[in-house]
Structure 1
């Protein structure tokens, strides 16, 4: 199984993603976030790691998410083995849910937010993923579910890493991977600070706890001083 969430704020250009899987080193292959451009999660029965480079290039050229996904499929004779979601800078998402992926396969999209997974216990996993993210970040989550534009809590971007981990925790508690979940990765790119990239490449039995341990190191004053000294462009 792999489950992923991608988020783009069209007003600020922020892009964020988080993913988890039953295999090793998910962050090396799956989730990609590009400020001012969009986001991508490429996963599935056999992940195509080259989707991300192509998606970034085409999004940078101004293609919408739906056109990007169609181009990815056209260039991949085995797209039935892939699951992929692409979000453009406008917060719109499109999916590949290849028919050869292992059930249960699901995906959901709202304005600025998309989630997808395969080899799931049920749709409850991705629903919990989205619900938790929206509850933590949006003032009008129910309206967003009905198609409205999100209204965000003030300064939600400053606590986004913890929001993403908490949303992943909710997804895993709702069923997660049939095999267990052993690696996770999150990435945040914005115009206000250097990128945040947090990964746990393998955790036997405490994945969320281990992600939070790494986050606590990132939030420590010494690292924050270093991070704040880095250029953001």
Structure 2
């Protein structure tokens, strides 16, 4: 299994992603966040790691998520083995859900948010992932699920790393990976501060606890001082 959530806020240009899998080092291949452009998760039976590079270039040209997906499919004769989610600069999403991926294969899109997973224990994992994220970030989660523009809670972007981990935790508790879940990654890019990139490449147990431990070190005063002195452009 790989399960991913990607988010883009068109009003601020913030991009975020979080992913987890039953394999090793998921952050090296799957989740990508590009401030001002969008976000991507590339996964599936056999991940195509070059989707991200191509998707970023297409988004930079102003293509929509749907158009990017069509280009990726056209360029890849084995796209039936892939799962890919794209969110563009307008917060719209599109997917590849290849027929040769292992069930359950699910995806879900609402404004500014996309969630996708394969080899899932059950079909409720995706909804738990998205529902938790919306509850923790918006004041109108029910309306967002029917297509209304999100109304974001004050300061949600500052809390986003914690929110991504909390949302992933609920997805895993809903079923997660048939094999177990051993690696996870999140990335947040904005125009207001340095990127946050947190990875656990392998944990035999307590994956979420390991993610929170890494985040706790990121939030320590010494590292925060370092981040504040990094350029934003």
TM-score by length of 1: 1.00
Q: Which residue of 2 aligns with 1:206?
A: 206
The Cα shift of 1:122 comes to 1.4
| 1:121 alignment partner, SS class | coil
Aligned equivalent of 1:195:
195
Q: In structure 1, what is the Cα distance between the partners aligned to 2:227 and 2:123?
A: 38
2:167 equivalent in structure 1: 167
| Cα distance in 2 between the residues matched to 1:128 and 1:112 | 17
1: CA distance between counterparts of 2:227 and 2:173?
32
* 1:54 equivalenced with 2:54 (yes/no): yes
Structure 2 CA distance for aligned equivalents of residues 123 and 145 of structure 1: 17
Q: 1:113 maps to what in 2?
A: 113
Deviations 1:15-67 (A, max 9, x none): 00000000000000000000000000000000000000000000000000000
1:123 CA displacement: 1.5
Unmatched runs of 5 consecutive residues or more in structure 1: none
Alignment of 1:11-160 (within 5 A): 11-160=11-160
Q: Secondary structure at the match of 1:47?
A: coil
1:184-208 alpha-carbon deviations (Å, 9 max, x no partner): 0000000000110000000001100
Number of corresponding residues: 233
C-alpha deviation, 1:111, in angstroms? 0.1
* Cα distance between partner residues in 2 of 1:29 and 1:138: 29
Compute the displacement of 1:144 (Å).
0.4
What is the deviation of 1:139? 0.2
> For 2:165 and 2:210, how far apart are their aligned partners in 1?
10
Aligned to 2:198, the other structure's residue is in SS state: strand
SS at 1:108 equivalent: strand
Taking the aligned partners of 2:217 and 2:89, their CA distance within structure 1 comes to 30
**What CA RMSD, in Å, does the superposition of the two structures yield over aligned residues?**
0.3
* Match of residue 232 from structure 1: 232
3-state SS of 2:162 partner: helix
* Mapped partners of 2:219, 2:11: distance in 1: 25
Deviation at 1:214, TM superposition (A): 0.2
**Structure 2: which 5+ runs fail to align?**
none
Q: Cα distance, 1:146 vs. partner?
A: 1.0
Partners of 1:146 and 1:117 in 2: CA distance: 21
